[in-house]
Amino acid sequence: MAGRTMRDGGTGSGAAAGAAGAGRARRRPAAAAVAKRAEVRLPPLSPYGGGLDPDGDYDGLEFTNLDLRGEEGPGARFIDCALRGCGLDETVLRRARFVDCVLSGVRGVGTDLSEASLRDVEMVDARLGGAQLHGATLERVLVKGGKIDYLNLRKSRLKDVVFEGCVLSEADFGGAELVRVEFRDCVLRRADLSGVRMKDVDLRTVAELDIARGLDRLAGAVISSAQLLRLAPAFAAQIGVRVEDALD
């Protein structure tokens, strides 16, 4: 009986320690969820050399080096398509849908993609200025390489989106919703985060993190300790703390 009592006591002590350890583990903050990366596998495509039509249907087509400036294609639907090296200056694609598409080397100023829907899309080495995606929905989208200036994503919805190795200069995320969004090895310069709602947004590997507005909207994001140190003066200013060295 004595031996059994000692064994039971030892087991109870171990169980208590295990429970305490489990409690400590449960109290650790959860890591940010990883975005589901877009993986586009296009079928054999047919070359396309025409223009765009409102509410046009484009399925299994390849647009290569086309000058689509000023073309009007609101409400158009692109499924299993590739746009490679196309000019999109002032191209109107408002409320367009892109599903399982690749946009590679596209360029343009003032491209209108407002209220568009992009699902399972890869955008590679784009060079865009003033692209309008306000009110757009992006799901499983990869933006890799390239440079986008004055990107307007106000009141858009981004879910499972990865920005990788690109430069975003003065991007406007005002009022947008970001869920499982990753910024990998990017430059995020003068970003506007006013009114943003974030959940599982990973900023840890951003090479240059510069927030012009909305620093108080970073709840739901994860940053690195080095980024925290660089942002510390801005955080202090946000809550009204003055940082001064003591006088001798």
pLDDT tens by residue, 141-169: 999 999 999 999 999 999 999 999 999 99
Instruction: Provide the 3-class DSSP secondary structure of residue 152.
Output: strand
CB 184 within 8 A of CB 163: yes
- Average the pLDDT over 28-47 and give the result: 81
Share of the chain above pLDDT 70, in %: 86
CB 59 within 8 A of CB 81: yes
Please give the structure tokens belonging to residue 126: 């784009």
Q: From CA 163, how far away is CA 187, in angstroms rounded?
A: 10
- CA distances, 182 to each of 104, 110, 112, 129 (Å): 20, 25, 24, 22
Beta-bridge partners for 7 = none
Q: Is pLDDT at 17 greater than 80 in this prediction? A: no
Say if strands 97-104 and 77-79 run parallel, antiparallel, or are unpaired. parallel
Confidence class for position 31, pLDDT limits 50, 70, 90: low
Q: From CA 104, how far away is CA 42, in angstroms rounded?
A: 13
Greater confidence (204 vs 230) lies with 204
Q: Is pLDDT at 228 greater than 90 in this prediction? A: no
Confidence class for position 26, pLDDT limits 50, 70, 90: low
